[in-house]
Amino acid sequence: MAGQVGTKERSIRYLSPTPKPMPDTILAPLAALLYLTATGLQLLHMSQRRQQIDRGVFALSLAALLLHAIIAWNSIIQDGGVDLGFYKVSALIFLVINVACITSLARRPLQNLLVVLFPLSAMAVLVATFAPDTSAVVSDLGGGMLLHISSSILAYAVLSLAAFQSALLAVQDHQLKHRHTRGIIQILPPLQLMETMLFELLWIGVTLLTIAIASGFVFIDDIFAQSLVHKTVLTIIAWLLFSVLLWGHYQLGWRSRTAVHLTLAGFALLMLAFFGSKLVLELILQRG
Return the number of other C-beta atoms located less than 10 Å from residue 150's C-beta: 15
83-116 as b/e, with b when 16 or more CB fall inside 10 Å? Answer: bbbbbbbbbbbbbbbbebbbebbeebbbbbbbee
pLDDT at 239 over 90: yes
| pLDDT band with cut points at 50, 70 and 90 for residue 2 | very low
User: How far is it, in rounded angstroms, from Cα 7 to Cα 257?
Assistant: 80
pLDDT at 285 over 70: no
Strands of the chain, DSSP E? 77-78, 81-82
The per-residue pLDDT for range 79-116, each reduced to its tens digit, is 777 888 888 888 999 999 999 999 988 788 888 889 99
Return the number of other C-beta atoms located less than 10 Å from residue 78's C-beta: 14
In this predicted structure, what is the pLDDT of residue 78?
A: 77
Q: What angle in degrees, to the nearest 10, is found between the helix axes of 143-177 and 256-271?
A: 140
Among 6-15, 24-33, 50-59, 93-102, the range scoring the smallest mean pLDDT is: 6-15
Nearest alpha-carbon partner for 138 in 128, 150, 130, 146: 146
Longest dimension (CA), the chain: 94
Question: In one letter, which amino acid is 271?
Answer: M
User: How far is it, in rounded angstroms, from Cα 232 to Cα 235?
Assistant: 5
pLDDT at 247 over 70: yes
pLDDT at 11 over 60: no
In this predicted structure, what is the pLDDT of residue 183?
A: 60
| pLDDT band with cut points at 50, 70 and 90 for residue 284 | low
Percent of the chain beyond pLDDT 70?
83
In this predicted structure, what is the pLDDT of residue 8?
A: 45
| pLDDT band with cut points at 50, 70 and 90 for residue 35 | very high
User: How far is it, in rounded angstroms, from Cα 225 to Cα 188?
Assistant: 45
| pLDDT band with cut points at 50, 70 and 90 for residue 7 | very low
pLDDT at 278 over 80: no
- What residue spans define the domains of the chain? 23-140, 141-288
On whether the CB atoms of residues 224 and 232 are closer than 8 A, the answer is: yes
pLDDT, averaged across the chain? 83
pLDDT at 16 over 60: no
In this predicted structure, what is the pLDDT of residue 182?
A: 64
In this predicted structure, what is the pLDDT of residue 281?
A: 65
Name the residue with higher pLDDT: 4 or 157: 157
162-190 as b/e, with b when 16 or more CB fall inside 10 Å? Answer: bbbbbbbbbbbbebeeeeeeeeeeebbbe
Name the residue with higher pLDDT: 22 or 161: 161
In this predicted structure, what is the pLDDT of residue 132?
A: 81
